[in-house]
Amino acid sequence: MCGILAVLGCADWSQAKRARVLACSRRLKHRGPDWSGLYQCEGNFLAQQRLAIVSPLSGDQPLYNEDQTVIVVANGEIYNHKKIRKQFASKHTFSTGSDCEVIIPLYEEYGENFVDMLDGVFAFVLYDTRTKTYMAARDAIGVNPLYIGKGSDGAVWISSEMKALNEDCVKFEIFPPGHLYSSAAGGLRRWYNPHWFAEKVPATPYQPLVLREAFEKAVIKRLMTDVPFGVLLSGGLDSSIVASVTKRHLIETEAAEKFGTELHSFVVGLEDSPDLKAAREVADYLGTIHHEFHFTVQDGIDAIEEVIYHDETYDVTTIRASTPMFLMARKIKALGVKMVLSGEGSDELLGGYLYFHFAPNKEEFHKETCRKVKALHQYDCLRANKATSAWGLEVRVPFLDKEFINVAMSMDPEWKLYNPDLGRIEKWAMRKAFDDEEQPYLPKHILYRQKEQFSDGVGYNWIDGLKAFTEQQVSDEMMQNAAKVYPYNTPINKEAYYYRMIFERLFPQESARESVPWGPSIACSTPAAIEWVEQWKASNDPSGRLIASHNSASANGHAHAHGNGNGVVVANGTNGAAANGTANGKMEE
């Protein structure tokens, strides 16, 4: 992942302004530690901090057309860039090996109507000196972060992260996924208009081989890399399938020619937690070079302020899930790995969260999956991207491949429904698609392992430790005055209050606090799904263990409160987070 910053239409063209833009851009250096660049044309500035994954020796940005009249800064992976290069081989002279350079000939050929031709994830800004116009766009689901704001002089600021523009904009907001901004047209418009956005229930029959093939293609295209890579492996269904498909097809890729066919896998968590054990078992089965990282509650507590700074959120479950991923990313980068594949998105597309068991019918089930996918950019995509980009590590998410999304969301949701009478647990459609008797992808007991909520799969002490710590940091009197201190999105427990204090100190602007979603949740549901079960309405605990269908719920005997109830966070592909309750402050491999 790279970091981009564009400031467009400034009244001030001075060296002092250029220096200010450079200073703001440097706040994104963690995203792109390999190189930096800045283009200026009068009061228009395009800056980039580069993480070199594809063509590390020749892909520095900004990128230009032949006569340098079109300029682009981008944070993206364009998986069909070679096909596009061939299309324009006779029309355009490419000057770098960057996959993002294809944005330029597409724009010159089609104007602003080319974004849907890009197969990948991206956030980019393009400036045309001939017309003195610019455009910006963000990928379909919002895998790559982007913000947009306005300065006091009317200049438009566009940045990969809030921290590069919050001090210089009078107002800013999240740049919506699947949209482009056009200065010529004077605003935002949606470029991504899939059939499922209308939330009409699809009727396409379940075709397991079609689902499997679409996912395998999604994984294979994400093996486009010129640097060492690996997979995040929690031992759950999603990360295990990602690892299995990667291992199976790695030998066919150019990456294997450069780095060999050995696959590295990574997990983080509490010693003896379920995820660590399951990941070890899957790694042994697949034959990966497996790296297991441990951390303590104190390690996590010490990292929380950094996590909030990088994640730019005060959402409780996001912070909980991001912290171990943040710690693990540093360890992975220290091993010389710059890119990993992960399993985010499966639960949203396929209804994998345990609360989906209580969907009253397939219509409500499908609508909830639509709502979940539309909100991914505020939760799991934000977590996976920012927690790893903090250390210059790129995460790729094959479940959020545009074509795989089309296949998964076109399926009659009847096949996604939890139905124990038919032997169908959550994500049965995905499990069945990869249940190959002749050439098994995974052992049966892993393939059909029940979904675990974040704190359950990785151990309980991490969540309990956070709650105990924040209980000591926030007094009862502070909570009584919470609504006066924080009238907007008022924290409703001490953990939420503690995170909010840190966030407000780092990002005190009104626009910053308004960028964080808020609302009731149960087991990662949207607020709308709480209507499915009457007793959920009175709960302040989004833990998956409150869901009666979980086979350990009754045996456990207690539930762990998950903060403010915002809910859309799961450690899918984050490979676990847990702690042993000690306070030695050390990580170990």
- Give the residue numbers marked as catalytic: 2
The closest of 366, 372, 279, 357 to 550, measured between CA atoms, is 357
The closest of 473, 443, 314 to 378, measured between CA atoms, is 314
Measured CA to CA, the distance from residue 187 to residue 476 in angstroms comes to 46
For a pLDDT cut of 90, what percent of the chain falls above it?
82
Q: Is the pLDDT of residue 559 over 50?
A: no
CB 162 within 8 Å of CB 124: no
Query: Is the model more confident about 45 or about 568?
Result: 45
Q: Which amino acid is at 415?
A: W
For 56-109, write each residue's pLDDT tens digit.
Answer: 888 899 999 999 999 999 999 999 999 999 999 999 999 999 999 999 999 999
Average pLDDT, the chain: 90
Given pLDDT bands bounded at 50, 70 and 90, which one contains residue 222? Answer: very high
For 120-151, write each residue's pLDDT tens digit.
Answer: 999 999 999 999 999 999 999 999 999 999 99
CA distances (Å), origin 276, targets 231, 453, 572, 584? 15, 14, 14, 20
- Tell me the mean pLDDT in the region 211-218: 98
H or E segment at 190? Answer: strand 187-190
The 3-8 sheet, strands edge to edge: 35-41, 44-50, 3-8, 156-159, 147-151, 169-174
230 CB-near residues (< 8 Å, 6+ apart): 263, 264, 265, 266, 291, 332, 337, 339, 340, 341
CB 381 within 8 Å of CB 141: yes
Measured CA to CA, the distance from residue 113 to residue 107 in angstroms comes to 8
pTM as predicted: 0.92
Task: Give the 3-state secondary structure of residue 422.
Answer: helix
Given pLDDT bands bounded at 50, 70 and 90, which one contains residue 558? Answer: very low
- Residue 545's pLDDT is what? 54
